[in-house]
Structure 1
Amino acid sequence: MSQRQGRAWMLACGTIFHVSLFALALRGRPAVAQEPAVARKAAKASLYLDPAALRLAALTPAPPAPDSAATQAELATLHRIETARSPAQVAAAKADDAEQDIFSYRTVFGAWFQPETLPLTAALSARVHAEEGAASGDLKTVFARPRPYQSDKTLHPVCKLTEAPNSYPSGHTLSGYLLGFTLAEMMPEKKQEILDRADDYAHNRLVCGVHYPSDLEASRRIAFAVFGAMMSNAKFVDDLTAASAELHAQQHAAVAAK
């Protein structure tokens, strides 16, 4: 089973519900003694969850060591992607690099899917995106993994660069999946297309040359746990329900206008 098939199967079978229960159970779990002891930056404010209660740093495996065979294999993968990427792929990756909101999914819906006509959806998007920073900020500091281009100067990244060693996990990828899971709940009839787009959004971090494949995989797994916890939050469910009604109404209006 491919990663995409596995992810779709998990959602189709309602595994999000079980992840929610798992995430809530973690609140009573003691911290792992071997958790890296490093200075952490202040976590961003969260509206829908308590990142500390999830203990993501204790539950997220460390990335491969810089000099490991796994990291060398990942760098080789990035070189292959760089060699094969087309101008169109670079343009798409740059566009996704610049846009971290739910409207990056307009390719699934069409031109009517815009923040100007979907204010509740836009507000929900901003709040969900904020959860990415709240969830991943500490992890990036804890693991302090150098970016691929920091370790391999022969790579040629095409998107925005950072000097900080904060590759793991990928914030863009985590945000993309959280927004995708949210949108799939809002409009389940388009779930498969939405989740395929989420995978493409994540893959574009590799096309950019700014993340390792394992950064993306860690973010995808974290997204399941974080979204499960969000689904147990009444405020999130209320906001999602209101945005879903708005989204369906705007879709019907767009169809009627044709």
Structure 2
Amino acid sequence: MRYRADSGVVFFSLILTFLFTLNFSAHAGYPVGDRLRTPPPPNPSSNSEYRDYRILHDWQKRRTHAECDSADLQALFSPESTFGPDTHLMNPREFDIVKPFFAQLLDTASDAVTPFKLKYQRMRPYDADRTITPCIHIPGGSTSYPSGHAAGGRLIAHVFADLFPARGRAFYNQGQKIGANRVLGGVHYPSDVKSGNDIGDQVYDVLQANPQFRSDFMQVKKQLGWTRRGSE
């Protein structure tokens, strides 16, 4: 009886995964309006820009091959490379449930930073200064400010911490690491990452009043609950 009951719960959880995936695929990122703000990047030759380059050069001197290899795994911001089972933040079943939600959150973060990238047109550090040598794959986009990786990592960390409160600190640390790896790898200035983190925070706050986000969040939370019962 116990085996049959558990199997039924697991089967129902799989059905929910399929239905929720269809629901998520019906719409892309959540709208965040025009309320987001971030200051301009540091002026060329300013003290702030000097600090950016000092940190980049410091990382370039002391980063290891292993650190570069680890950062390069996240060069493409994918669910698996950033918050997947290999990070030990979620088990494979939990990861399969949140993966469609992840895609929408990442699209939302990308949409949020794009207007600022277009507005400020800050060159990548290795394009502006030939002494900067990236040790990870170079991004396709040429604009550096703000960091989309940092914004996405921060937003997803916030939301996943709400889904898994007991692991909140671990998710937050992973979000920070995603942004920091962009500096270590030489493809973003520290101020890019700081701005991206701030935008991720702002987007998270805006989403709390978004009915579609709240509905999707509760669907995922409910499905995770069914999964946990099935594993007991």
Structure 1 residue runs of 4+, over 6 Å off?
none
Residue 127 (structure 1) aligned to one of 95, 104, 112: 104
Shift of residue 238 of structure 1? 1.4
Question: What CA deviation, in whole Å up to 9, does each residue of 1:216-251 have, x standing for no partner?
Answer: 111111111111111111111111122123335445
TM-score (normalizing by structure 2): 0.79
Q: Give the structure 2 partner of residue 76 of structure 1.
A: 54
Residue 199 (structure 1) aligned to one of 148, 153, 176: 176
Alignment of 1:112 with 2:87, yes or no, is no
- Distance (whole Å) between structure 2 residues aligned to residue 112 and residue 103 of structure 1: 13
1:14-163 correspondence runs (5 A): 47-51=29-33, 53-54=34-35, 56=36, 59-101=37-79, 104-105=82-83, 106=85, 107-109=87-89, 111-112=91-92, 115=95, 118=96, 120-162=97-139
Q: Report if aligned partners of 2:150, 2:179 keep a CA contact under 8 Å in 1.
A: yes
What amino acid is aligned across from residue 221 of structure 1 in structure 2?
D
Q: In 2 relative to 1, CA 101–163 (structure 1 residues): closer, same or farther, beyond 3 Å?
A: closer
3-state DSSP class of the match of 2:101? helix
Number of residue pairs aligned between Structure 1 and Structure 2: 204
What amino acid is aligned across from residue 201 of structure 1 in structure 2?
I
Q: Give the structure 2 partner of residue 8 of structure 1.
A: none
Q: Give the structure 1 partner of residue 21 of structure 2.
A: none
Q: Give the structure 2 partner of residue 215 of structure 1.
A: 192
Q: Report if aligned partners of 1:149, 1:210 keep a CA contact under 8 Å in 2.
A: yes
CA RMSD after TM alignment? 2.2
Query: Which runs of 5 or more residues in structure 1 are unaligned?
Result: 1-44
TM-score (normalizing by structure 1): 0.72
Q: In 2 relative to 1, CA 194–68 (structure 1 residues): closer, same or farther, beyond 3 Å?
A: same
Structure having the higher Rg: 2
Q: Report if aligned partners of 1:103, 1:114 keep a CA contact under 8 Å in 2.
A: no
Query: Which runs of 5 or more residues in structure 2 are unaligned?
Result: 1-26
- Distance (whole Å) between structure 1 residues aligned to residue 140 and residue 221 of structure 2: 39
Q: Report if aligned partners of 1:158, 1:209 keep a CA contact under 8 Å in 2.
A: yes
Question: What CA deviation, in whole Å up to 9, does each residue of 1:39-90 have, x standing for no partner?
Answer: xxxxxx9642233x31x3xx31111012212212211111111111112111
